[in-house]
Structure 1
Amino acid sequence: MILESDASDEDVAAALDCGADALLLRLGPCVEDAARRSARARACALINEARGKGWSRGKSAAPKLFVEVAPLVNELIEADLDALFGPGPDGVFLPSCDGAASLQRVSVKLAVREAQAGLADGATRIGAFAGGDPAAALALRSLAGASPRLAALAFDEAGLRAALGLACGDGAAVQMARGAVVLAAASAGVPALAAPVRTGEEAAYAAARRDGFRGAMALFPGEIAAIHEVFPAGQNRQRPQSSA
């Protein structure tokens, strides 16, 4: 389920209680301004609140807390990580992954912050949107063995359509990138997550499972039950829900 940085407290509460395996906290536009600083503070407060309720690292029943940070090419990623390693999320989510180099660069950044925060090396996992950039989609095969931190790959179908100028339809390029994400995730031993769907299009989850996806992103709490039906417990579901 994806909640943006301006989500209401009611929306955040619903996200926390809807039964998703993971919550993805989004920080909004990549601009160093009051809104982004506020979103960082809100994300940290939510992580601290979750920890206070006993949702500690490593508890299998707890929803994992991920935060989507700025792209590696944007210097804002440093400020994002510095702020987050107050409480320390379960993981960070990259807006785009273009292969092993991306994972290795962010792994180094995480290792430094973990050491400074007194966390175990490797405690922070990495998720990433993948396939949204045509060139990056062709580099996904390098992800196998790139980092033990990798937790999941999510197909950025909307990003790819925008890059290709496609309004709709599943053309050859979209299908190829979709397959590349599934294969890259399988070769790396992590779940591939299908793109979120609009209300009334839940049948797409079954198609995603047939294509090899192991879970799906969600936009609203009400979609979680439908995703659970298609991707039962014990099959490595991961559905980062965004909120911040």
Structure 2
Amino acid sequence: MILESDASDEELAAAFDCGADALLLRLGPCAEDAARRSARACALINEARGKSAAPKLFVELASLDSELIEADLDALFGPGPDGVFLPSCDGAASLLRMSVKLAVREAQAGLADGATRIGAFAGGDPAAVLALRSLAGASPRLAALAFDDAGLRAALGLACGDGAAAQMARAAVVLAAASAGVSALAAPVQTGEENAYAAARRDGFQGAMALFPGQIAAIHEVFPAGENRQRPQSSA
């Protein structure tokens, strides 16, 4: 389930207890204060470590080309998240760049090489869609690909995501995830649109992202336990 870094204590408590397989925490902008930007993430990682049944915690980082990426990683590898999430993925190149950065931080923190998994939003950039096939075998760190429906619609100026180009990108994410041996996660939907989960399963997705704790039960109904079901997102 997606959580924003400025979520209230009540929202955080609900997210931890909603039954999600994982939480995705979005750090938010705060470019003027990199330390403040990641402080909440570190606190949440430490809190999750103290819970016996807490979901895995992924943190969505700044883009690989942003000056904030190094500060994000330096701060997060105090506590160390279960994984990181790339806001966009340009195929194997993005995955390998992030893998190198993680290997350095793991060595500095005394963690096993490869301990930190990588998830990525994919399909939101038209050029990157064509590079997704390169992900197969690129890195054992890859954990999941999540379809970036909103990003693609913005890039193409589409009012909805059911046109031919959107369907092609959606299929590319499913096929890239399958060829890489990881889960393809459908884009999150608003409350009342949960019927989209069944359509996503028919299209080959193995899970979906959630925006609200109340959506987790509906996702688990469509993607039962043991079938690589969804990862919830933080701030999503």
Q: TM-score normalized by structure 2?
A: 0.95
State the 1:75 CA deviation: 1.6
With over 3 angstroms needed to count, the CA separation of the structure-2 counterparts of 1:49 and 1:60, relative to structure 1, is closer
Equivalent residue of 1:86, what SS? Answer: coil
Deviation per CA, 1:64-117, whole angstroms, max 9, x where unpaired? 110000000112110000000000000000000010010000000000000000
With over 3 angstroms needed to count, the CA separation of the structure-2 counterparts of 1:198 and 1:35, relative to structure 1, is farther
State the 1:237 CA deviation: 1.6
User: In structure 1, how many angstroms separate the alpha carbons of the residues matched to 2:133 and 2:111?
Assistant: 30
With over 3 angstroms needed to count, the CA separation of the structure-2 counterparts of 1:190 and 1:58, relative to structure 1, is farther
Equivalent residue of 2:62, what SS? Answer: coil
With over 3 angstroms needed to count, the CA separation of the structure-2 counterparts of 1:170 and 1:36, relative to structure 1, is farther
CA contact (8 A) 1:30 1:70 kept: no
State the 1:30 CA deviation: 6.4
User: In structure 2, how many angstroms separate the alpha carbons of the residues matched to 1:189 and 1:100?
Assistant: 14
With over 3 angstroms needed to count, the CA separation of the structure-2 counterparts of 1:90 and 1:58, relative to structure 1, is farther
With over 3 angstroms needed to count, the CA separation of the structure-2 counterparts of 1:224 and 1:97, relative to structure 1, is same
2:67 alignment partner, one of 75, 86, 93? 75
User: In structure 2, how many angstroms separate the alpha carbons of the residues matched to 1:60 and 1:232?
Assistant: 22
CA contact (8 A) 1:15 1:241 kept: no
Deviation per CA, 1:131-154, whole angstroms, max 9, x where unpaired? 000000111000000000000000
- Point out 4+ residue stretches in structure 1 off by more than 6 angstroms: 57-60
State the 1:174 CA deviation: 0.3
CA contact (8 A) 1:20 1:224 kept: yes
Deviation per CA, 1:24-68, whole angstroms, max 9, x where unpaired? 111012623278536xx1111111111xxxxxx899964111000
State the 1:240 CA deviation: 3.4
Aligned ranges 1:39-78 → 2 under 5 Å: 41-50=39-48, 62-78=54-70
With over 3 angstroms needed to count, the CA separation of the structure-2 counterparts of 1:62 and 1:3, relative to structure 1, is closer
CA contact (8 A) 2:28 2:37 kept: no
CA contact (8 A) 2:153 2:161 kept: no
With over 3 angstroms needed to count, the CA separation of the structure-2 counterparts of 1:86 and 1:13, relative to structure 1, is same
With over 3 angstroms needed to count, the CA separation of the structure-2 counterparts of 1:100 and 1:220, relative to structure 1, is same
When the two chains are superposed, the root-mean-square deviation of aligned CA atoms in Å is 2.1
CA contact (8 A) 1:23 1:65 kept: yes
**Looking at both structures, which has the greater relative contact order when contacts are Cα pairs under 8 Å and sequence separation is at least 6?**
1
CA contact (8 A) 1:91 1:124 kept: yes
CA contact (8 A) 1:2 1:218 kept: yes
Equivalent residue of 2:11, what SS? Answer: helix
CA contact (8 A) 1:152 1:238 kept: no
CA contact (8 A) 2:208 2:231 kept: yes
Segments of 5+ residues of structure 2 without an aligned counterpart are: none
Query: Identity across aligned pairs (percent)?
Result: 92
CA contact (8 A) 1:93 1:126 kept: yes
CA contact (8 A) 2:211 2:235 kept: no
User: In structure 1, how many angstroms separate the alpha carbons of the residues matched to 2:34 and 2:72?
Assistant: 13
State the 1:198 CA deviation: 1.1
CA contact (8 A) 2:183 2:207 kept: yes
